[in-house]
Amino acid sequence: MESIKWAVNHMPKTQDEYLKVMSLSQVEKARTFHQSFPQYARTPLAKLDAMARYLGLKELYVKDESYRFGLNAFKVLGGSFAMARYIASETGKDVSDLPYSVLTSKELREEFGQATFFTATDGNHGRGVAWAANKLGQKAVVHMPVGTTRTRLENIKKEGAQVDITDMNYDDCVRLAAKEASETVRGVVIQDTAWEGYEEIPSWIMQGYGTMAMEAADQLKDCGCQRPTHVFVQAGVGSLAGAVVGYFTNLYPDNPPVFVVVEADAAACLYKGAAAGDGRIRIVDGDLKTIMAGLACGEPNTISWDILKNHVSVFAAAPDWAAAKGMRMLSAPIKGDPQVVSGESGAAPFGVLASVMTMDEYQGLREAVGLNQDSKVLLFSTEGDTDPERYKNIVWEGKDC
């Protein structure tokens, strides 16, 4: 069985110029926007007391994004807010003046017209972009990488987007979306990865993800937890991880939690950068074959990478078995705990945490991040069973594929 790999962060610090992207005021703006949607409801924070005792922790919380807007994943938070910010900038307005009721009004449609939003996705992000475009009367074009399941394509098609599965990997799909947007009148790339010259929209997407982190912080306080000691968060390009790490660093500037970033080992570009230790970006190419489709991204978001190398303690690369283990444990909770239906990418951090706390071979990692009976750990299950057949194969049939 392949081992979980990990690297303690010894990278040189930067001036931290991107931390302000996730300022509390910017995230509050995003949450207020999302709250204006008639479909909005705060997603649950599962408090797993029995599991915490089993793993040797004080408290354990999992934010369950399978309830988000009826879309079974958190991604819509980023795409919808980025679209609103884009429309606001094009019409000379502040996004605070564009709640859902205004964005969907006949008056705004006449003022703004229609744009075409291009994106690449393994499923969740594209579905969120397609859903938001549909609700806001805009167009969406979605490209999906090789190996994407038909179920995920059909979910996007139902939202009225033009969608296809290509013979490319995720990062090449991103390049295709960017090229087509540049050749289309009023074409806009809505992508949650940043590169040189494309940073504004990804920063808006990250702020949209901040809604989830801000909800979790409020819910922790409702549970009597004033501050988590540890936050585990998954990473593909790193946008979610940068958003979560950035938000909690701003929320607890004097005493931030210990942050652990978990990637799929087949696409562990952030881990490789941390292992090299020089702070430079590393790229992983090829097929990026893993059950964690949402994490199969080999080129880091430049904004997030800057935040992560300044504030993350450990980067971990998880084999598929760790994600499958997390899915099974969350789906079959210890008596008294709530169930969390978590997909492959959603359960990876929990699978790593459970392995680190119960397997002797990871004692060094456990000690490196200071996990013990006093630890209060927060995780994010970023998706539910977005591919129900695959979920059943893994959870019911015991397969890791």
As a three-state string, the secondary structure of the chain is: CCCCEEEECCCCCCCCCCHHHHCHHHHHHHHHHHHCCCCCCCCCEEECHHHHHHHCCCEEEEEEHHHHHHCCECCHHHHHHHHHHHHHHHCCCCHHHCCHHHHCCHHHHHHHCCCEEEEECCCHHHHHHHHHHHHHCCEEEEEECCCCCHHHHHHHHCCCCEEEECCCCHHHHHHHHHHHHHCCCCEEECCCCCECCECHHHHHHHHHHHHHHHHHHHHHHHCCCCCCCEEEEECCCCHHHHHHHHHHHHHCCCCCCEEEEEEEHHHCHHHHHHHHCCCCCCCCCCCCCCCCHHHCCCCCCHHHHHHHHHHCCEEEEECHHHHHHHHHHHHCCCCCCCCCCCCHHHHHHHHHHHHHHHCHHHHHHHHHHCCCCCCEEEEEECECCCCHHHHHHHHCCCCCC
Instruction: Provide the annotated active-site residues.
Output: 75, 122
Note whether 81 and 189 are same-domain residues: yes
Note whether 34 and 180 are same-domain residues: no
Task: Give the range of the structural domain holding residue 121, as residue numbers without chain letter.
Answer: 76-198
Note whether 134 and 85 are same-domain residues: yes
Q: Is residue 401 part of a domain?
A: no
Note whether 37 and 137 are same-domain residues: no
Note whether 81 and 70 are same-domain residues: no
Confidence (pTM): 0.96
Note whether 210 and 136 are same-domain residues: no
Residue that finishes a domain, picked among 135, 166, 198: 198
Note whether 115 and 245 are same-domain residues: no
Note whether 115 and 236 are same-domain residues: no
Q: Is residue 378 part of a domain?
A: yes
Q: Is residue 67 part of a domain?
A: yes
Distance CA 396, CA 203 (A): 39
Q: Is residue 400 part of a domain?
A: no
Structural domains of the chain, count = 2
Q: Is residue 151 part of a domain?
A: yes
Residue that finishes a domain, picked among 198, 231, 260: 198
CATH number, position 355 = 3.40.50.1100
Note whether 61 and 188 are same-domain residues: no
Note whether 274 and 347 are same-domain residues: yes
Distance CA 8, CA 365 (A): 9
Q: pLDDT per position in the chain (401 positions), as tens?
A: 899 999 999 999 999 999 999 999 999 999 999 999 999 999 999 999 999 999 999 999 999 999 999 999 999 999 999 999 999 999 999 999 999 999 999 999 999 999 999 999 988 999 999 999 999 999 999 999 998 989 999 999 999 999 999 999 999 999 999 999 999 999 999 998 888 899 999 999 999 999 999 999 999 999 999 999 999 999 999 999 999 999 999 999 999 999 999 999 999 999 999 999 999 999 999 888 999 999 999 999 999 999 999 999 999 999 999 999 999 999 999 999 999 999 999 999 999 999 999 999 999 999 999 999 999 999 999 999 999 999 999 999 998 76
Q: Is residue 68 part of a domain?
A: yes
Note whether 158 and 231 are same-domain residues: no
Note whether 91 and 217 are same-domain residues: no
Residue that finishes a domain, picked among 198, 219, 251: 198
